[in-house]
A = this chain, B = another copy of it.
Amino acid sequence: MARAHNFFAGPAVLPLSVLEETRDAIMDFAGNGVSIMEISHRDKAFDKVVAEAQADTLAIMGLSADEYSVIFLGGGASLQFAMVPLNFLHKKADYVNTGAWASKAIKEAKLIGEVAEVASSKATNFNQLPKNIKYSGDADYVHITTNNTIFGTQWKSDPDVGNVPLIADMSSDMLSMKRDFKKYNLIYAGAQKNLGPAGVAIVIIKKAWMEAKAKQSISTILQYKTHVDAGSMYNTPPCVSVFVVGKTLKWIIKEGGLEAVQARNQKKAKIIYDIFDAYPEFYKGSVVNKEDRSLMNVTWNLPTPELEEKFIAEAKAKKMLGLKGHRSVGGMRASIYNACPMESVELLAKHMEEFYKANK
């Protein structure tokens, strides 16, 4: 079966080499006649998978193991929406509302304590990122969402929030570009966009801050400290998902790290955005400011819903999948994560050109 051109928003395309390594490990992991699905998480061969994934994550991000811990947790980013305030919201937290996922994070924080929604682009249906944000200054933390999967906006630089701890949901642009990761006290991401299959979230946390500030009265499994202290092995981790993340991290390193990955992501995104700019009345990008355009999720509308349906159907006939916008906003979306090949983007661009000529 030939590979499809996969534009799903998540779960999403992974490197072919990672699929092949996973396929092999499903039948035999580490040459011992046992599947990666069947091996004890206490086995030394699996320990190595976790330890290497932790070390590779820090190496890619340029962070020190003395300062940061990496843990792999089940439950997805949605569990992190709850765990962040459960652990760290003592009095008040600042949240920047840039989309549906940020709104969900805010909803969970409000169950725990006071939330200052310091900026929001909700009034314009999240078609831009808020500018000139005034943070409270005395919050327990500031929470941002670096890439907004549904609306197609992305923070291209990392905010200055002074001495207040900065926390980011990086689910949909994790390890897709260089960032000043040292600015963050806690970074989390569901793996199923840039890093692996669904079923695991990666959390990078500043240890000293966690020790000083995390609540220890909440359920054991909901405490970051539990997982950090146990080296991410407090309970059985989602082993296969961690294995795949580990292989994807090695793929990122082999590709040249974040600098190389970012350059390719910029090139891929430019191919599509250039078409928006060439035919702005036909391909109506949903993000109003060019600097906010996501390198990961490109969102747009066509002049009519009928044309959108036709566009998607014709793309599907060419094996391009997942181009329908999120059900909450409609329109179209191409998710072009790290592992999305240049050829898929070029094929989409060709389809856009041809479709424009045939339907303008």
Q: Which residues of A contact B (CB under 8 A)?
A: 1-4, 6, 8-14, 19-20, 22-23, 26-28, 31-43, 73-79, 81-82, 86, 104, 107-108, 111-112, 190, 192, 196-200, 217-222, 234-241, 244, 319, 321-322, 327
Contacts and interface: CB of A to CB of B under 8 A. Distances in A.
A6 B35 CA distance: 10
Given A11-B38, A23-B27, A241-B238, A200 B199 contact: yes
Contacts of A235: 76-78
A217 B239 CA distance: 32
27 contacts: A8-B38, A9-B40, A10-B40, A11-B236, A14-B35, A19-B35, A19-B37, A19-B38, A20-B27, A22-B26, A22-B37, A34-B321, A37-B196, A74-B79, A78-B220, A78-B234, A78-B235, A104-B220, A111-B219, A192-B239, A198-B239, A199-B238, A199-B239, A199-B240, A199-B241, A238-B241, A240-B240
A34 B4 contact: yes
Nearest to A23: B26
Given A76-B74, A240-B199, A37 B11 contact: yes
A12 B27 contact: no
A219 B81 CA distance: 9
A20 B34 CA distance: 13
A66 to B, nearest CB: 28
Contacts of A237: 198-199
Contact of A1 (B9, B33, B199): B33
Contacts of A234: 78
Given A11-B39, A38-B197, 11 more contacts: A1-B33, A13-B38, A19-B35, A36-B197, A74-B74, A74-B79, A82-B221, A111-B218, A198-B237, A199-B200, A199-B240
A10 B42 CA distance: 9
A319 B238 contact: no
A221 B201 CA distance: 14
A307 B38 CA distance: 27
Contacts of A22: 26, 37
Nearest to A196: B37
B39 A8 contact: yes
Which of A2, A23, A34, A321 has the most chain B CB atoms closer than 10 A to its own CB? A34
Contacts of A19: 26-27, 35, 37-38
Nearest to A218: B111
B11 A319 contact: no
A240 to B, nearest CB: 5
Given A75-B221, A198-B239, A321-B34, A28 B11 contact: no
Contact of A33 (B3, B37, B73, B327): B3
A197 B242 CA distance: 12
Given A14-B37, A82-B219, A327-B42, A236 B198 contact: yes
A197 B199 CA distance: 11
